[in-house]
Amino acid sequence: MGDAKASRPRYLKAVAASLLLVTISGGLSGCRQEKRPTPPYPAVEWQGSAPSEPIEADPWVIAVRKSLEAQAVAQNVTDFTLPELEASTGLELRTRLSRIPLNDVAQKRRPDIRPGPDPFLPLTAHAGRDPGTGEVHGCVVRWASDTGEIPDELSATGVMFRMEQLAEGQIRIVSVVPLPDLDCSTATPPLALFVPAPEPSDVTDAQDVVRAKKSDVDPL
C-alpha cells in the first residue's frame, strides 16, 4: 500500500506534464504561419500591336521576354519559387530578386509592384563564347513602384542579359549587366500590362516573402 500511495503523486505529475506538453504543442501549431495562397498567373496584353521585328523570333529574345514576365509576376506576389520563374531565370538572379521585397519590408516600405513585364527593346542577340551561353543587348525600362501605376515618363537604359541554355533545352537569364554606353535616349520599348492589373502589396512580414531556392530545373 505504501508503494501505491507513493506512486500516485508521480503518476499525477506525469499526466499533468503530458497535458501541458499537448497544450503547448497545440498552441504552437495554431500560431504556425502558413504560406499565403499564390494568385493565378496573370495574362499579358500588349498596348498596341505586339512587337514583330525579326529579332523577336530569336530564341534568346523569346527567353528574355519570358523571364521578364515571370520576374514581374514573382515580385508582385512575393513568391520566387514560381515554376515560370524557375524555368526562365537562374538561381543566383532569383535569389537577388527575392531580396528586393525583403529589403522593402525591413525598411517598413510597401514592396514594389510592376504593372507588367519591364518594357524591353532588344537590339542584338547572339550565342556566347562558351557552349550553351548567349547574350541579348537592348534598352529596358524599370517601372516598379509601390503603387504599380504606369509612370508618366518611361526612361530606358542599356542592359545586357547573360543567358544559359540547359541540357533539357530551357533558355534562362542568369545575370544582368548595365550598359551605360548604350544610347537608349530615343528608344521606345513596347509595353505590355498584366490582366488583371496587380493590386498594391499588403505584405508587411518577411515570412510572407517566399524566397528563391534550388529547384529541379537548376543544374547540379
- Centroid of chain to Cα 40: 14
What pLDDT is attached to residue 105?
96
Mean pLDDT of 140-150: 95
Of 177 and 2, more confident? 177
Q: Are 92 and 86 in contact (CB under 8 A)?
A: no
Average model confidence (pLDDT) across the chain: 88
Mean pLDDT of 50-74: 98
CA distances from 63 to 109, 136, 147, 161, 170 (A): 32, 10, 28, 10, 8
Does position 87 have pLDDT exceeding 50, yes or no? yes
CB-CB neighbours of 29 under 10 Å: 8
CA distances from 194 to 60, 61, 139 (A): 22, 20, 20
Mean pLDDT of 38-67: 96
What pLDDT is attached to residue 31?
45
Mean pLDDT of 34-47: 88
Q: Is the dihedral of CA 7, 11, 12, 17 positive or negative?
A: positive
**pLDDT digit string (tens) for 153-167?**
999 999 999 999 999
Grid cell 516600405 in the structure block, residue = 109
Q: Are 155 and 140 in contact (CB under 8 A)?
A: no
In one-letter notation, the amino acid at residue 202 is D
Assigned C-alpha cell, 101: 521585397
Pairing assessment for the beta strands 120-127 and 133-141 based on DSSP bridges: antiparallel
- Centroid of chain to Cα 164: 18
Assigned C-alpha cell, 82: 514560381
Nearest-angstrom CA–CA distance, 43 and 201: 19
DSSP secondary structure letters along 165-201: E-TTS-EEEEEEEE-TTS--TT-----EEEESPPPPP
**pLDDT digit string (tens) for 95-106?**
999 999 999 999
Of 19 and 103, more confident? 103
Burial 111-120, CB ≥16 within 10 A → b, else e: bbbbbbbbbb
Of 152 and 65, more confident? 65
Nearest-angstrom CA–CA distance, 122 and 120: 6
CB-CB neighbours of 148 under 10 Å: 19
**pLDDT digit string (tens) for 162-198?**
999 999 999 999 999 999 999 999 999 999 999 999 9
Does position 5 have pLDDT exceeding 60, yes or no? no
